[in-house]
Each structure stands twice: as C-alpha cells, then as structure tokens.
Amino acid sequence: MAILPCRAEGLSFRADGKPLLGPLDLELDDGGTTVILGHNGAGKSLLLNLLHGLMPPSAGHVRWLGPDGADNRRRQAMVFQKPVMLRRSVLANVEYGLKLRGVARAERRRRAAIVLQRTGLADIAERQARALSGGEQQRLALARTWVLEPEILFLDEPTASLDPGAIAAVEAIVTEIRDGGTKIVMTTHDMGQARRLADEVIFLARGQVAERGPAGAFFAGPASDPAQAFLEGRLAW
Amino acid sequence: MTDILNAFVLAIELIFGGDPEFVEIVGLSLYVSLTAVGLASLIGLPLGALVAVYRFPGRGTVIVILNSLMALPPVFVGLFLYLLLSRSGPLGFLGLLYTPGAMILAQCVLATPIVAALAHQAMRTLYEEYMQQLCSLGARTRQVIPTVLWDGRLRLVSAVMAGFGRVSAEVGAVLIVGGNIANVTRVMTTTIALETSKGNLALAMALGLVLLLIALGVNAAAVLISRTAR
C-alpha cells in the first residue's frame, strides 16, 4: 500500500502579496533521491515545507495519489536543517514517533534498537539528546524518522553546518534509507553532496522549476540558462 | 529589638521542642497548602498547556482573565467562598465551612490561576519551538499537550512553586473559611495574626520564621528534584 505518487498542482505561496514560490506543478514518484537545487531564496525549503504539509499553500494543493493517500500525514517524514531535539534521552527521541502511532512498548524498543545500531547511536542511547554534538543530533534526527519507515523522507539542508566526518555519516545513513526503498527529496547547498547523492535534480529559480532531469545529465550539461549559470558559479537570477 | 531576639530564641525552642500544638499547626499548614497546590496543579498545568497549544475563539480573553486572577485578593476569595459554603449558601449542604476542606478549596482557587498562567507562559515558548517538529513527526494536537507538559517539566516546577508560595503565605482566605479554630483549622498564618493581636509578638515572629524556613525547605527540595530530573 502506498501514498505516492505525490502531485503538486498550481502550488504557490505568497507572503504579504509577494510571490515566493510557484505557481508550479510537480509530481514525485517512489524510488531514488531527488535533489532540489537553486540559489538562496529560490524557494527550496518552502517547497519542502509545502509538500510535507507544514504550511498551507496560498493557492493550489498537494495530492497524494496512492491508495493510502488519505493517511499521508503519518507516512512521510522530514529532517530539518536545525532539528528540534525533544528534552529526553536519545532512545526516547527515537521512540516518540512510534508512541504517537500507538506502537506497543516492546515493539518500540525493538525497532528503536535496530535504528540506533544502524545510525551508530546505540552506545549513547541513554544520553540527553540536547547534550549531543551537531553531527550526533542530525544522526538522531535521521534515526527518529527512519524508525517510522516513511515512504517519503524530506531533508532540508541536512548537513549545512556539519564537519566532513559528520557529513559522511549523514550521507551514508541517507543512502541506506534510500536503498531500503524510501523516496528521498532533499535540498542542499553542497554541490559535491548533490553529485554524490542525487539520482534526479530539480532546479528551482525564482520560485519556478527551471529544469528537472536525471542527475548525470544535469551535471554534465544543464539545459536551462539559470542552471548553467548556477553550476558555473555565475550569479544570474 | 528584644522582641526580635526573643523571637529567634523562641523559634529555635519551638522547632526543637516538639510542642504537640506547634507540630499540629505546622502539620495542618503543610497539609492544607500542599493539597491545595496539588489540586491546583492538576487543574492549572493542563489548562495552561491547553491555552498555549489550542487556538480557539476567546483565547486572548482567557489569557487576560488568567493573568488578572493571579492578583486575586485572598480576603475576597475567602468571603466569596464563605457565602457559597455558609449554611444558607448554595453549597451549604456540603458542611465544609470551618473545616480544612474549605481551606484547601480556598487556597486551590487562589493557586490555580497562578499555576495556569505561569504554565501557559512556559508552555507557549516550548510549543513555538516544538510545533513544526511535532507536527512533522505526526503528533495530533491532543498528543502535543502531554508532550510539552513532560518536556517542560522543569519549568513547570517553578509555576507550582509560585502557587505554593502564594498559598502558604496567605492568611485572609483561610481565616474566613477556616475560622482559626484551635486544633481544627488553626494554621501558621492565622496563628501569627492571632498572636500578634494578643500582643505575643515574639511568638508571632517565631512562627513567621518557621514559615520562612518551610518555604526555604520546599523550594530547596524543588531545586533538588529538578536537578535529578535533568
């Protein structure tokens, strides 16, 4: 059973009458990693927030077309650039989402233990989440969503302020989640990361989809002018 | 000056002397105030969280009312409850007037707005921080309230302590609904008022010092609890 594909129709967002995103149409199907690229202010994070349903669009809508589309809220997850750690232990943070879904205690423990092992957090499961380093917190944020086995996972600049070691750890986890069959949709400023992780690229410019295509082709030679300028490091907007 | 010195000596004598009447008065004071604050917390903490989390029409008014009720005059609450609980009043059949039960009720009325208003402030800050994350993790609004109450538990201790500080020190309400009856409804603050009017200034001062010590002890305990819970 599935909630995907996810279709945005005429999706737009305005603040104080100023258009920040769209109107745009977009469809996301299952499998692979879609990386959203674009300059600051292009609307990348906004698009993720709208797709994830954290804010209502000014116009248009997001539809989940799969047979379980009505239950989409609990089949998707998101990791924020600065994840909010609950004032609890690492283990309790991982179990929280399962608790919300009414999963029994023993089963919660079992599933949390597996995910903590996979994210390398098993040894610090009893530590207070807020006392962790930035890299550990981001791994915990991933563990917290992974344990929910989402069908689609949104990542908003997940490694923005991390050191290379922590970035590598996060990327390894993201890859493993993707290999498990979860659709990944992420934004990043790190071109190296985009090349390493992307199966597909969506390029946003001024709130519109300027280009979309397979990652290999995009990085070899983008078709649109804004994307070409972006990859060449020219400021064109 | 001698009164103050005598008061210190008397206070020490009282504390270590184990006078049964004194012990009874202190015990009843603690029983009434702690029960009242316990009940006020049961009502006030969820109420504060509810107002912090739910958006409903009239929410602003509720917040203004809660904040104003923090300044509720104890004598007014005492008088109001006296009228309700007196034999001819609407709640007279309960037979509560001049019992510790009435005193608990009065102090609960005084403490609830304080606990609720302070809990609301603490919970609102926490909710603003948590809102997106909890929504993303799939929390429904009714699941958010226990989450912020639990995660904000350290801040809620101060809300509860503020409520305790208020009721353990008040005299107006317990005097009116309790009547300051020896061995029945006599608590520390009413005893202080009585002994002062009788001219036993040293004894009144001594009781005041003991009251202060209890407040100190309860607050220290609260700090210890929040340290270990961290």
Q: Are B173 and B12 in contact (CB under 8 A)?
A: no
CA nearest to B153 within chain A? A87
β-sheet bridge partners, residue A186: A35, A155
Contact A84 B143 (CB under 8 A): no
* Rounded Cα–Cα distance for residues A144 and A153 (Å): 12
Asked whether the beta carbons of residue B132 and residue A96 sit closer than 8 angstroms, the reply is: no
A13-22, A87-96, B39-48, range with the lowest pLDDT:
A13-22
From chain B, pick out residues whose CB is under 8 angstroms from the CB of A88: 150-151
CB B26, CB B188: distance < 8 Å: yes
**Terminal-to-terminal C-alpha distance of chain A:** 42
Q: Is the dihedral of CA A62, A67, A72, A75 positive or negative?
A: negative
A84 → closest Cβ in B129, B150, B152? B129
The tens-digit pLDDT sequence of chain B (230 residues) is 777 888 788 888 887 888 888 889 999 999 999 999 999 999 999 999 999 999 899 999 999 999 999 999 999 999 999 999 999 989 999 999 999 999 999 999 999 999 999 999 999 999 999 999 999 999 988 899 999 999 998 889 989 999 999 999 999 999 999 999 999 999 999 999 999 999 888 888 888 888 999 889 888 888 887 777 65
A-chain CB neighbours of B137 within 8 Å are 77, 96-97, 100, 144-145, 148
Chain A closest CA to B49's CA: distance in Å? 17
- Residue B72 is predicted with a pLDDT of 93
* ipTM value: 0.89
Size of interface A-B (CB pairs under 8 A): 40
Q: How confident is the model at residue A210 (pLDDT cuts 50, 70, 90)?
A: very high
Instruction: Please answer yes or no on whether A77 and B130 come within 8 Å at the CB atom.
Output: no
Element (H, E) at B230: none
Structure confidence at residue B205 (pLDDT): 84
Which residues of chain B are within 8 Å of residue A54 when distances are taken between CB atoms? 132, 135-136
Joined together, the tokens standing for residue B152 give 């904000």
Q: What is the pLDDT of residue A1?
A: 64
User: Is A54–B143 a contact, with Cβ atoms under 8 angstroms apart?
Assistant: no
Inter-chain touch B138–A144, beta carbons under 8 Å = no
CA angle A26, A221, A46 (to 5 degrees): 30
Q: Which residue has the tokens 């993201």?
A: A174
DSSP chain A: -----EEEEEEEEEETTEEEEEEEEEEE-SSSEEEEE--TTSSHHHHHHHHHTSS--SEEEEEE-STTGGGGGGGEEEE-SSPPPPSSBHHHHHHHHHHHTT--HHHHHHHHHHHHHHTT-GGGTTSBGGGS-HHHHHHHHHHHHHTT--SEEEEESTTTT--HHHHHHHHHHHHHHHHTT-EEEEE-S-HHHHHHH-SEEEEEETTEEEEEEEHHHHHH--SSHHHHHHHHT----
Which positions in chain A touch B228 (Cβ < 8 Å)?
none
What is the pLDDT, as a whole number, of residue A233? 85
Nearest C-alpha in B relative to A94: B137
How sure is the predictor about A236, in pLDDT bands with cuts at 50, 70 and 90? low
User: How is the beta sheet containing A18-28 ordered, strand by strand?
Assistant: A18-28, A6-15, A59-64
Q: Where are the domains of chain B?
A: 2-229
The reported pTM is 0.83
Domains and CATH numbers, chain A: 6-232 (3.40.50.300)
Q: Indicate the residue of A86, A88, A101 with minimum beta-carbon distance to B138.
A: A101
User: A210 to chain B nearest CA, in Å?
Assistant: 28
CB contact under 8 A, A73 and B138: yes
Contact B130 A86 (CB under 8 A): yes
pLDDT tens for A184-197 read 999 999 999 999 99
- What is d(CA A82, CA A67) in angstroms, rounded to the nearest whole number? 33
C-beta atoms of A83 and B133 within 8 A: yes
- Are residues A54 and B132, on separate chains, in Cβ contact within 8 Å? yes
pLDDT at A234: 81
Q: Locate the chain B residue with the closest alpha carbon to A148.
A: B137
**CA distances for A225 relative to A42, A203, A205, A234, angstroms:** 15, 11, 10, 11
Return the SS3 of B199: coil
Partner residues linked to A214 by β-bridges: A200
> Is omega for the bond preceding A5 within 30 degrees of 0, making it cis?
yes
Task: Look at residue B20 in the predicted model and tell me its pLDDT.
Answer: 87
CATH homologous superfamily, domain B2-229: MetI-like (1.10.3720.10)
- Chain segment A29-54, per-residue pLDDT in tens: 988 999 999 998 899 999 999 999 99
Partners of residue A8 on adjacent β-strands: A26, A62
Q: What are phi and psi of A8, to 5 degrees?
A: -100, 130
Say how far apart CA A33 and CA A52 lie, in whole Å: 16
